[in-house]
Structure 1
């Protein structure tokens, strides 16, 4: 049985949440590169020295924001997946949930998938939570393969050297071929890319219905991965 949190511990958790919430708001004003602990402390009415007891540096704050945002987009994807439904329905539900989260959290999306922050190198912990969303697509594909419902169309071969050992470890147990792994990577990148195009206005005067074109993209990637549409 876990010991009850002390009042001090609860207060620390609450203030940490306030710091992260304020930092997320400031992402929209200054961008990730302009985020600073001092500006967050100023908005919260804290002494600038006090905030360093919660986050030792700007990089620590960025890492916490990345982990929080990757967790949220991963939870959105996982929460949309119903293993009892047909593979294409599961696939579309995950794509749509990922888009919905991104449209509602534009600045966080830019932090995750936009221009890298100069001088900042994300630690390995961010890679662990970043895998939750693409792994949801992988599980759908793996389930379809196990049930005999995966029929990928012909396509160019992918050299095994193009896939990192880390990626193969992440998909361990799903029994994907090199080509199947490569197609999943393409699907994940297409998902991130089409959302980014929409958020940054690159589909203006190109698509008349962004949601409909997004669904077309999702179905196209499903078909390329062998999921019947």
Structure 2
């Protein structure tokens, strides 16, 4: 292998090496403590080499944010594909994808904190992060849309009335506004999404460990409760609960 080939290989692998070091730093220092100097030290590179890939700290943070959204959504998409291939109901699919996101969140707590924890001082996520961030609600929307088409939803007892609360982007992501009696389904779906992320924040940051005896079973229970707001039944395996 000549010098030019070796240099090309190094340039190709350098971004991954830098991001791998940065992900470890997220756990040790938090996103606020991340710097190009620290990433260089932990990746065994010179600061100038890191700056050649990520000129500023915010560029590195943005790359990590995009990766985190993409990786977590991919885990959900894979779980949904497997559940769908097995002929699962929409409620079972919902439980599968939320469990997948929960596992990813615990396995990657630094990245979870980066995208769902406190804002990083001085950092504002650019528009480049939106497509990756949209994949998570898109998975949920796809399941809800399938449930609607399959007649698996129970109409709400108290439909929302008044002017729409939605941005056009939310309606587009869902695939159009549903008709009555499910005309408020997208709003309810956003509540489900919000409940999911809030529940994960509580569990990843150990806010429920002193309240429930089985956090995994409680997670399933909470998803089932949240799903009731959109009229979807999530089947629970009572054997997963402990006394």
> Distance between the aligned counterparts of 1:10 and 1:170, measured in 2?
39
Q: 2:127 pairs with 124, 129, 136, which one?
A: 124
> Does the 8 Å CA contact 1:152/1:227 hold for their aligned counterparts?
no
> Distance between the aligned counterparts of 2:230 and 2:155, measured in 1?
5
Partner residue, 1:105: 108
Q: TM-score, normalised to structure 1's length?
A: 0.91
Structure 1 segments, 4+ long, off by >3 Å, are 6-10, 158-161, 173-178
How do 1:44-59 and structure 2 match up within 5 A? 44-59=43-58
Pairwise CA distance, 1:208: 1.2
- 1:48 and 1:139, CA in 2 relative to 1: closer, same or farther beyond 3 A? same
Instruction: Give the gaps of 5 or more residues in structure 1.
Output: 1-5
> Does the 8 Å CA contact 1:74/1:133 hold for their aligned counterparts?
yes
How do 1:51-90 and structure 2 match up within 5 A? 51-81=50-80, 82-83=83-84, 84-90=87-93
- Aligned CA-pair RMSD: 1.8
Partner residue, 1:3: none
Partner residue, 1:182: 187
Partner residue, 2:29: 30
Instruction: Give the gaps of 5 or more residues in structure 2.
Output: 235-243
SS in 2 for 1:181: helix
Pairwise CA distance, 1:8: 4.3
Number of aligned residue pairs:
224
Pairwise CA distance, 1:13: 2.4
Pairwise CA distance, 1:150: 1.6
